[in-house]
Amino acid sequence: MIALAKGIAHKVVVPGKGFSLIVATVAAGVSRAALIILPCLLLLIDSASASSLSVSKTPFQGYFDFTTCVHYALVHSEVIKKNRLEIQLRSIAIKDDHSEFFPTLNITTNYYISRSSDSDTSRFYWNIVGSQFNPLGALIKIKSDRTLVDIAKETHFQKIGEQVAVIAKLFYSIQILEKSIKIRKQVLALTQDKVNYGESKNEQGTMDPIQVRTWNNNLRSARLKLKELDEDRENQILQLKALMGYPPDFHLPLDTRDAANQVLGGFNGQFITFADVQGGNLTLKIAAKREQLQSNLVTAAYVALVPRPVLTVEALDNQVDRTNGFNFSAGLQYTLWDGFRRIREIKRQKIIAEQLKLDRNDLSQDLYTRFNRLRSGLELSGEREALVREQGKLQELNEEKALDDYKAGAITYDQYVDSRIHKVLAHLDSVNGPKERVVNLIDLATMAGGLNKYNARLAY
């Protein structure tokens, strides 16, 4: 602040913009209009300079809800990027297969520096040979590589679904931890109040010192539990950042309000049947595509029995007793004897196809077992939630009764505080109660095709 002639100069720092303004306000005769215009001027300067200044320390301003976390991960997650590149590699292989429709031409040229004295032919010789090519084999390769591209796409979507499921569980778990931390702080405050009461009574000589020491130890335990919850929350946020591809040193401002609804988007597992799981499960789709690919390989083993065409173009200029020019020939090449290797290859590919079919059947049975387990888990978790809610209501009634008894002098203050602590801990149980059900719903939605199939906000 610098004093001027009959006025005061104020240094106004624009937050995060890297510069400051010196604003002089004349103490005498300053108009109200100037005081109104001044904030508007600062806002205009702030907005005009925003585009030319560096970005803030956090990649995004605002809050990351579940949808934003997923969309961020789709762009920055290393796992998803890797699978996206796999699709590109498979697509390039299809272009290589198209080139096999035409023969690969190899040209051989020779210039004879020294020839026999009686030779009057040209010193230059060239020969073009079309290497073995198989149009039928090329068709099968194209079909097979297209199937591989489909497998890569389904695998990509499967990885996304798995990644989204893990993000969903972490996101919901973080909300549970945030609520648990708030409740544990209440427990800590009530325990501290109880210790203060005990120490006051101990000073008056009406409280057993061992009892006060026990309460102090309970206070330390409450602080430790709160610290463990806070550390667990930070670790889970770090895991979430790693899955999202988010910079680990940046703050991640999460909006976990109503996390279960954010994650599930109204998904109700009671309406999912095993037919829905079979129709949408990506692992089953990949297994079916692998069977299709193997069927192409069986066909390719049969095609190996078909003769292969050969093309040749050769110069005649340097050959004795030949007319100048070139010859063009087309023919077939066939392997007469290979020890029945091609026959065994057909049998081998058929056996592999049978193995893949059995693997898909085993996978379907395993999915059915998991589906039944999840559905049973949903029913049991619903009953557990109802039990926990009822226990919470009972603890509230006990706390009300304890308050009346304390007012009536029937119980001591520490006993009343104990009833309040029990009520808060019952509330903590009710917060953790739905976790098993929500996790089962996430697994069930992922099994049936992914959360994005049922949560419209996750469209990608």
pLDDT of residue 234: 95
pLDDT of residue 48: 39
pLDDT of residue 298: 93
Q: Confirm if 10 and 23 have CB atoms less than 8 A apart.
A: yes
- Quick one: average pLDDT of 96-120? 70
pLDDT of residue 217: 95
Distance CA 212, CA 199 (A): 6
> Long-range contacts of range 71-74, CB-CB < 8 Å, 24 or more positions apart?
71/460, 72/244, 72/245, 72/246, 73/163, 73/164, 73/167, 73/243, 73/244, 73/245, 74/160, 74/460
Q: Confirm if 109 and 276 have CB atoms less than 8 A apart.
A: no
373-398 residue pLDDT tens? 999 888 888 888 889 999 999 999 99
CA angle 169, 56, 457 (to 5 degrees): 35
- Quick one: average pLDDT of 106-126? 67
pLDDT of residue 38: 37
Q: Which helix (H) or strand (E) holds 26?
A: strand 20-26
CATH number of 66-458: 1.20.1600.10
Give the amino acid at 138. Answer: A
Domain ranges of the chain: 2-52, 66-458
Is residue 104 pLDDT above 90, yes or no?
no
Task: Give the predicted TM-score (pTM) of the model.
Answer: 0.74
E strands within 64-148? 105-111, 124-130
Q: Residue holding tokens 């427990």?
A: 187
Of 338-342, 344-348, 401-405, the one with minimum mean pLDDT is 338-342
Residue 90 CA to its chain's centroid (Å): 22
169-198 residue pLDDT tens? 999 999 999 999 999 999 999 999 999 999
**Angstrom distances, CA of residue 194 to CA of 267, 398, 419:** 44, 18, 12
